[in-house]
Structure 1
Amino acid sequence: MEFSPFNNVVKLCLQGMSMEEKGEPEEAKKLFLQAWNEATNDLEKFLSAHYVARHQQTVTDKLKWLEASLDHALKINDDTVKSAFPALYLNIAQCYEELSQPEKAKENAELAKQYKEHPSDKGPFYHGTKADLKVGDLLSPGGNSNYKSEFIMNHIYFTGLVNGAGFAAALAKGDARERVYIVEPTGSFENDPNLTDKKFPGNPTRSYRSAEPLKIVGEAKEWVRQSEEDIQKFREKLENSKGEIIN
């Protein structure tokens, strides 16, 4: 089950977040509820319930929606959503604290800590680019950002989603063929702070970074390619973004 920004329910959640940024919470709430009502699987239910929760007027109602989000997340059992467990359990703990249920609050806070300190993703991992490389080559930090060319990146980035790596390859600068390489980190790595717990809970795109090189161990030949229209829209969005890169 793979997270995609082109999924219809995800698009509704993005529209809801846009309404929040514009100071229109009622419109945002309507969009999040629409996303919940249109959700057809546990990933979509998990995401939409998360956003409905933050527009509730009482702690009890917020807790109900957070626990609904958690219930669907637990059914998925993959790394796409496990990265969201620390924040989700912590939010539930805060609700129990406000409801004067300290034992429940402590239980959920401990679960949040457990999941934060023990990331579960074991790969395989992928890196998308237009560079022509071979097995055994090392991909090292120090290149220019694909998104803000003036930035020299202190980390090398990769993902656990082959389609995400394919999309990164499509966005990469140059006219060469898009390549998705299977990579192994040669050192420690962390969740990409530019994406984790930002718009979406956790690290649903399984995006990571390392200050150590990645070793190419193979090349993926198949992934879902987005339309040129979607790629161009996303490229324009990146170019117009005023957000700062955490480097």
Structure 2
Amino acid sequence: MNRIAFITGATAGIGEACAKKLANVGYDLIISGRREENLNKLEAELLKNFNCKIFKLVLDVRKQDDVFDRINKLPEEWKKIDLLVNNAGLAVGVTAIQDGIIDDWERMIDTNVKGLLYITRAVSPLMIERKQGHIINVTSIAGKEVYPGGNVYCATKHAVDALTKGMRIDMLPHNIKVSSVAPGMVETEFSIVRFKGDTDKADQVYNGFTPLYADDIADTVEFVASRPAHVNINDILIMPTAQASARDVVRD
């Protein structure tokens, strides 16, 4: 088999773009996500356009038992994971903390923090056993700064930023790289989910300037993953040209 990359949240956006980019440079892929129809569509496209093998995992990273059961039951040849892209994540709502919706908080914490931990806990021992591997966590400018309406989402991404640094230390003796790719404003399903399906509000987020696109982040993930064996990119913050910080954006 080729090198194997495991991508969470592969059913759309950055995860889908990463799958296509990594297939194009010679990886076989474990693609995971909650939406089976989207995974089936992605699998068909990948097999049609690239010389790669695909293993699908219809999986919700929030479900601890399922995560460990499904990864433990991977065929032996698919357990030789070279690259883990922890991409699954979401923002829900923009309410102030005093008006916060607990269910929104739980979804973000369970997906962005606990889900990433479950996947990493299940996959990292497989890498340690082979003394090789690379974990790339897709973080966010929200893990570097806090902005109005971002309270809990920013907290989860700050947690992932800290976890990435902790993983880097813990994996160091085992020859396993750990990296963070932190995007600014990327036009994907992200804002549609945040605004709970309100496409008008979601579109306004990107009005008046050119945001990043999923392919931009996939290019960056592939760059980070393709550095020589002696090079680890700890952290990349990637922004649209029109964005300088979480709040500073120049619009037409």
TM-score, structure 2 normalization: 0.28
Q: Comparing both chains, which one has the higher relative contact order based on Cα–Cα distances under 8 Å and sequence gaps of 6 or more?
A: 2
Q: Which has the larger radius of gyration?
A: 1
TM-score, structure 1 normalization: 0.29
